[in-house]
Amino acid sequence: MNGRSNVGWTLAGAVAAVLLAALWAAPLLWALSTALRPELETVSSDFHWLPRHWTLDAFARTLGAGNLPRWLLNSFLVALLVTVITMAISLMAAYAFSQLRFRGRSILFGAAMLAFLLPFEALLVPLFRTMHQLGLVNSYAGIVLPQVVSPVVIYVFKQFFDAIPADFREAAVMDGAGPLRVLWSVYLPLSGNIAWAMAIVTFIAAWNNFLWPFIIVTSNDMMTIPLGLTQTYDAFGVRYAQLMAAALLGALPVALAYVVFQRRVTQGFLAASGLKG
């Protein structure tokens, strides 16, 4: 009886997974189908899933109009810089909170964790005024710097570092290693999967960020892909095939990055889910 019950639950889980996958894939497939149609076909009242006349015209027009290559470059540079700086700050902060003993450590960590409760929208005005006073409006530094502090990444790394036996650190210190050397040579290799997972998630979040670039960017040449797509809409008007083509081109790099590093991301989250706080 238990065997049949287990098989039933397995089948139910498989069916649920297929349904969820279909719900996730349907909008993506519809966007691709729309991008491969002639514009006149996208506004036709005759509904059909597949294009009747397949064409890459929307992709060609999207690549030739607007400033899409520059927006892709801007998004890549911003996401890469945010990821590198965020990981460096988070690793050092997590190591300090976990392994070093200094006055006010608990208070500082608590203050960092309070950022969970503070929405980014509440910081827009002070952040913009700060960037304006520093002369960083409409610059890479102005886009990147407000995004590089991530309490979530700090917390995940700290919890992992807390679980590492103290003998590893003590052995490295006895060999004359300083805090940065211990972090780089001991703790970072042990947290490789989690580091990869956090890096990919941070990269995707920075790539997809619309609100802050919308506030800080004032010129077409400094726009990132999410912000540039709004300009594509203004330039193209109601041209759904070109809008879908632009959206797909903008999402393609992060999708490829996730596919390439999928196993590392999965292993990282599995490792993180097994942490004991």
- Residue pLDDT, tens place only, 214-240: 999 988 889 998 888 777 655 555 677
Separation of alpha carbons 229 and 11, rounded Å = 42
196: left (phi over 0), alpha (psi -120 to 50) or beta: alpha
Give per-residue pLDDT as tens, 37-71: 887 777 777 777 788 888 888 888 777 766 778 88
Backbone Cα Rg of the chain = 23
Average pLDDT over residues 118-135: 89
Total number of residues shown for the chain: 277
What are the pLDDT digits (tens) for 134-145? 999 999 999 999
155 vs 98: CA distance, rounded Å: 10
CA separation for the pair 196, 53 (Å, rounded): 42
The most confident of the ranges 113-117, 125-129, 186-190, 242-246 is 125-129
Q: What is the per-residue pLDDT for 276?
A: 42
Q: Which fold has domain 54-273?
A: MetI-like fold (1.10.3720)
Q: Would you state the pLDDT for residue 6?
A: 67
Provide the pLDDT for residue 99. 84
Q: Is the model's pLDDT at 148 over the cut of 80?
A: yes
258: left (phi over 0), alpha (psi -120 to 50) or beta: alpha
- pLDDT of 106 > 80? The answer is yes
Give the start-to-end residue ranges of the domains of the chain.
54-273
pLDDT, one tens digit per residue, over 235-260 is 555 677 888 888 788 778 777 877 77
In 3D space, the residue among 92, 96, 118, 116 whose CA is nearest the CA of residue 106 turns out to be 96
